[in-house]
């Protein structure tokens, strides 16, 4: 699973009246340009084989419709799959924001916070987990995911210290279409508690089998 990072970019300028925009240093226009340029930067500076997902979800600017504000800010989530990309991304964003700000006579402020690192399974532990669950439940009930999910998980901190494997448990009721089922953050999500027995058995078998290996 991906690492989760928070990005906030603020353009600082000089406010003014909407009837005289040339007397101000408008941060709103710079912010709009940055929003488009940011998405283009991702596709031009990062490999599709080490993907980055940038979702800017918040915008703040002035309150009065006829007043140019002093500053404008955007913030959102950046998902990364490698340490190299996580470290490189904020440097490229600062270059982009500074360049746009300079062209408008503004100052850019970039704030970058890493919340969770990427969740990376240990190959040996993942193999052991897959073999154990297949033996316990049958191959038709175990699926090895070919591609990573871009969601994030704080279990990643554990995996940085101890070799392990992250497992998903499918728990949607039988009458729910998995293609359209709400995600677990949705207020409409539904869970089937009948899977709890299988979950307990899986965890017990994994723990016992791993202890047997020493």
- Letter string b/e over residues 142-169, b meaning 16 or more CB atoms within 10 A of that residue's CB: beeeeeeebebbeebeebeeeebbbbee
**Secondary structure E strands in the chain:** 3-12, 16-17, 52-60, 67-68, 71-80, 107-116
Closest CA to 37 of 77, 9, 15, 58: 9
Q: Are 137 and 198 in contact (CB under 8 A)?
A: yes
User: What is the rounded end-to-end Cα distance, in angstroms, of the chain?
Assistant: 28
Cα 56 to Cα 78: distance, rounded to the nearest angstrom = 8
Instruction: Tell whether the model's pLDDT for residue 130 goes beyond 90.
Output: yes
Q: Are 120 and 73 in contact (CB under 8 A)?
A: no
Q: Are 86 and 80 in contact (CB under 8 A)?
A: yes
- 30-61 pLDDT, tens digit each: 999 999 999 999 999 999 999 999 999 999 99
Closest CA to 152 of 188, 178, 116, 127: 116
- 52-101 pLDDT, tens digit each: 999 999 999 999 999 999 999 999 999 999 999 999 999 999 999 999 99
Q: Give percent of the chain with pLDDT exceeding 90.
A: 89
């Amino acid at each position: 699973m991906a690492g989760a990072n928070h990005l906030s970019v603020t353009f600082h300028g000089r406010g003014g009246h909407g009837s005289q925009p040339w007397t101000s240093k408008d941060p709103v226009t710079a912010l709009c340009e940055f929003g488009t340029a940011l998405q283009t930067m991702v596709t031009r500076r990062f490999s599709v084989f080490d993907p980055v997902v940038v979702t800017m979800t918040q915008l703040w600017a002035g309150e009065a419709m006829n007043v140019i504000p002093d500053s404008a800010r955007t913030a959102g989530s950046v998902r990364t799959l490698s340490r190299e990309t996580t470290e490189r991304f904020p440097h490229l964003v600062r270059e982009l924001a500074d360049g746009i700000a300079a062209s408008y006579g503004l100052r850019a402020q970039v704030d970058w916070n890493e919340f969770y690192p990427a969740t990376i399974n240990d190959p040996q532990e993942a193999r052991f987990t897959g073999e154990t669950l297949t033996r316990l439940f049958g191959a038709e009930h175990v699926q090895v995911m070919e591609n990573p999910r871009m969601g994030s998980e704080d279990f990643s901190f554990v995996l940085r210290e101890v070799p392990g494997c992250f497992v998903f448990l499918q728990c949607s009721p039988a009458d729910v279409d998995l293609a359209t089922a709400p995600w677990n953050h949705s207020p409409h999500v539904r869970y089937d508690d009948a899977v709890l027995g299988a979950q307990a058995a899986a965890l017990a078998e994994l723990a016992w089998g791993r202890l047997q290996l020493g």
